[in-house]
Amino acid sequence: MKTNRYFFALFILISFCEVLNAQTWSYAKQGTPTWQGAIAKDIYTDATSIVSVGDIGLIDISEGEVYMVKNDFDGYVIWEQHHDKAGSIEISQHITPVPSDGGFVVSAILGDVYKPWFFKTDANGNLLWSSDAWSDLLPENSVSQTYVYQLPSGDIACINTDDITGTININTVSNATGVLLSTNTLSYHDLIYPGYDYIFASSSDIEGDGAGNFLMTWRYTCTDTTVSYIARINSSFVVERAEKLADVYDVFYPTNIALNNAGDYLVTGIKNTGGFFGDLYTSTIVTVPAVSGPATIYSTPGALINSNSGDITQLNTGEYKYIRYNYDDAAFDPATGAYVEIVTLDASLTETSAQTINYTDYNVLETINTYDGDKFIAAGMAWKIGIPSYFFLIASDATGAVPTCVFNCVWPGDADNSGLVDMDDLLAIGLGYGATGPLRADATIDWTAQNAIEWATELPDGTNNKYTDCNGDGIINDDDTTAISNNYAFTHAVNMLKTDAGDIPLSFISDGSASVGLNTIPIVLGDAANMVDAIYGIRFNVAITGEYIEPGSIKINFNDSWLLATDNYLQLSKNNGTDLNANGGAVRTNNSNASGYGEIGTLSFVVIDNIAGKNDADDIEFMFENIRAINLEGEELSVIGIASTESNPTGINELYNNAFTISPNPTTSNFYVQSNNAIEKISVFNITGNKIKEINNSKENLIYIDANDLPAGQYLVQVISDGNMATQKLFIIK
């Protein structure tokens, strides 16, 4: 997959997946106002699911992370994960399965320093190891392309090209630990097609062939010519084959490598038809037989004079699906009228049809793959000027159709656009009864996402009446109830493209340093320059990244404040006990708005040392997601979440100078705590972070604790001795 370095992705507030005719669907994650970008980069599909990877972040602030999501074949999310190298902007390139254990390996480039970065996850996307220990030692600007895959030996090959030094660097690491085992380096010069000496070389893509080999494409600028070719390098890192793609008489700039169903190589790119210094470019596909034989060039006839190539995949039917950018100017820029297409080619690479992808102002497709037989899925970015962009997937049905609507769509029967068809939609029809507006083109009351022109009228809560016109006939009346009846209890995600930036900050107030044990951080809404005029309730999620956080301990607590008057509010906090996030909400109950700014509650969590042998910890990061605030009239306020970072938890470095043991553990009734130093205090916390026992001012090394009154479950025991703190888990069984 070719990396487009001018797109850098970012993290997210809104996700969606649409099931269109139970076959065609889309999925996206929106970037935040702080990090204006999100893009999907690569896709892996198996017999039941789809795993995609993309980047998040902004190059100018060198912050971001890698986002991974697994969808089933109807588009519903199975899991999602976020992996960050603190202080860096990650540009993901490839995701590859690990056949021996079902995990995944991901290759990326750190855009702030241009070093390679690799990591492995388990089958659920949980991080197992990363390459930091050895890749951090590489020099800056030492990477152009990356790829990672499992070798027949079971080890992992982490590959990166360096166009500056003209080398391919292959670092072999342990599949289990990521520990570096060996390094091999190949010279570009040794791979050049015979008879050429280059001045400059540019690598374009790396792909595995599924047989333990990897493929690479290059373009060389020589003293009197330009030549491009593909090479196959085996698992012993020996060049088995090199095949010329084109030279100066047909200058070809490769971008992507793919394999067809026969195992032959397809290289997409651009052919310069105006000579070496010409400016006329045509999207082009070059085929190379896997066994032997020369390359064959195919220019795609449906393209404009200036066009560019993306990824390509072949369906079981033999048809190809191919990403192509068409543009009339000398450079691709979607904002100036260029467009991206998914082109259908027959088995002979002859174009038969093309679908224009035009959901937003900018539409970028980075990769395309097959799934569920003869369907295809494409990934990239959707962006409307003035809002953060979306990590973006679109999936076809068996006929090859893609979703006709993705954002601001009408779902027949969901009259209030809440995401659920229920009795509230009957009330919405009553509120909008008699209003008229534009007819919906190709209207149906089938449960599909449909494009519709905005009406000039809306419901009292601001919902546009285009949603309330359930059957699309241009008038809200009794007939619209049929769609409610037919689609009752159906659900979908609400995906609105909003151009208004949030202006009321929701933030954490912290000294920047967490400690082992229970931590509490104030949550603040508004500030002196951005006061809240009128608010009645708020809800949001908090997501945390950090390896030392106890998941079940994360809790959002609202308290008496300018927002929530004593005994006149409801609050709720939810945590499923397994993920590093919590959901919280609070609403007033006195039928009056509040105004002001300041603390509205706290975020609490427990930091625990539970990774044997480590004496330091990664930073802990906090982010608000899925924020919604309303006033008494149900109108939404514009709120922006501000992320926060806590440095390495204090106390971790001292844990191993302050080790203690719990015996027996598990226990049925009581236990002993023994330390090498005199114990000053012991605290016992339940899994939600509430302190339930405490022993103070003891100077003994061995302390007996009666736990007969504690129910079965998991607890945290915190010990302070010699001025240092340590925490361990305790299990009580009955």
Kindly state the tokens that stand for 89. 């902007």
- Strands (DSSP E) contained in 273-319 are 281-288, 296-299, 306-314
As a whole number, mean pLDDT of residues 29-45 equals 83
On the question of pLDDT at 313 being above 90, the answer is yes
Q: Which residue has the tokens 């994360």?
A: 554
pLDDT of residue 649: 57
Nearest to 220 by CA among 239, 198, 241: 198
pLDDT of residue 261: 94
In which band, very low, low, confident or very high, does the pLDDT at 30 lie, cut at 50, 70 and 90? confident
Instruction: Check residues 307 and 35 and name the one with the higher pLDDT.
Output: 307
Q: Which residue has the tokens 């990166």?
A: 160
Instruction: Check residues 288 and 181 and name the one with the higher pLDDT.
Output: 181
Q: What are phi and psi of 553, to 5 degrees?
A: -90, -10
On the question of pLDDT at 3 being above 80, the answer is no
* Highest mean pLDDT (candidates 207-211, 243-247, 671-675): 207-211
Q: What are phi and psi of 493, to 5 degrees?
A: -90, 145
CB-CB contact of 220 with 196 (8 Å)? yes
As a whole number, mean pLDDT of residues 198-223 equals 85
On the question of pLDDT at 682 being above 80, the answer is yes
User: Residues 108-155: pLDDT tens digits?
Assistant: 999 888 999 999 999 999 999 999 999 999 999 999 999 999 999 999
pLDDT of residue 334: 47
Task: Give the lowest-confidence range in 46-55, 60-69, 427-436, 489-498.
Answer: 489-498
pLDDT of residue 410: 94
Task: Give the lowest-confidence range in 78-87, 140-149, 502-511, 519-528.
Answer: 502-511
Q: What are phi and psi of 595, to 5 degrees?
A: -140, 150
Q: What is each CA distance from 407 to 23, 449, 453, in whole angstroms?
A: 18, 9, 12
Q: What is the mean pLDDT of the chain?
A: 82
pLDDT of residue 62: 66
In which band, very low, low, confident or very high, does the pLDDT at 329 lie, cut at 50, 70 and 90? low
On the question of pLDDT at 587 being above 80, the answer is yes
Output the CA angle 96-112-36, nearest 5 degrees. Answer: 80
pLDDT of residue 653: 41
In which band, very low, low, confident or very high, does the pLDDT at 689 lie, cut at 50, 70 and 90? low
On the question of pLDDT at 435 being above 90, the answer is yes
On the question of pLDDT at 280 being above 90, the answer is no
In which band, very low, low, confident or very high, does the pLDDT at 4 lie, cut at 50, 70 and 90? very low
Burial label for 316, CB within 10 Å (0-12, 13-18, 19+), is exposed
On the question of pLDDT at 642 being above 60, the answer is yes
Instruction: Check residues 15 and 676 and name the one with the higher pLDDT.
Output: 676
pLDDT of residue 159: 97
As a whole number, mean pLDDT of residues 213-230 equals 82
In which band, very low, low, confident or very high, does the pLDDT at 56 lie, cut at 50, 70 and 90? confident
CB-CB contact of 49 with 79 (8 Å)? no
As a whole number, mean pLDDT of residues 350-355 equals 91
Q: In what order do the strands lie in the sheet with 115-121?
A: 90-98, 103-110, 115-121, 127-130
The contacts found for 76-82 with CB under 8 angstroms, 24 or more apart, are 76/17, 76/19, 77/15, 77/17, 77/27, 78/49, 79/124, 79/125, 80/15, 80/125, 81/121, 81/124, 81/125, 81/126, 81/127, 82/11, 82/56, 82/543, 82/545
User: Residues 404-423: pLDDT tens digits?
Assistant: 888 889 999 999 999 899 88
Q: What distance in Å separates the CA atoms of residue 533 and residue 531, rounded to the nearest whole number? A: 6
Instruction: Check residues 648 and 629 and name the one with the higher pLDDT.
Output: 629
pLDDT of residue 268: 92
On the question of pLDDT at 298 being above 70, the answer is yes
On the question of pLDDT at 474 being above 70, the answer is yes
On the question of pLDDT at 449 being above 80, the answer is yes
CB-CB contact of 56 with 69 (8 Å)? no
On the question of pLDDT at 187 being above 90, the answer is no
Instruction: Check residues 602 and 612 and name the one with the higher pLDDT.
Output: 602
Q: What distance in Å separates the CA atoms of residue 494 and residue 16, rounded to the nearest whole number? A: 7
- 733's CB contacts (< 8 A; 6+ apart) are 666, 667, 668, 712
User: Residues 60-116: pLDDT tens digits?
Assistant: 556 788 999 999 998 888 999 999 888 888 899 999 999 999 999 999 999 888 999
Kindly state the tokens that stand for 314. 């072949």
On the question of pLDDT at 471 being above 70, the answer is yes
pLDDT > 70: what percent of the chain? 83
Instruction: Check residues 670 and 285 and name the one with the higher pLDDT.
Output: 285
Nearest to 2 by CA among 41, 40, 37, 50: 41
Instruction: Check residues 521 and 613 and name the one with the higher pLDDT.
Output: 521
In which band, very low, low, confident or very high, does the pLDDT at 303 lie, cut at 50, 70 and 90? low
pLDDT of residue 369: 97
Q: Which residue has the tokens 């198996």?
A: 46
- Beta pairing class for 375-383 and 390-395: antiparallel
Q: In what order do the strands lie in the sheet with 362-371?
A: 12-20, 24-31, 390-395, 375-383, 362-371
In which band, very low, low, confident or very high, does the pLDDT at 331 lie, cut at 50, 70 and 90? low
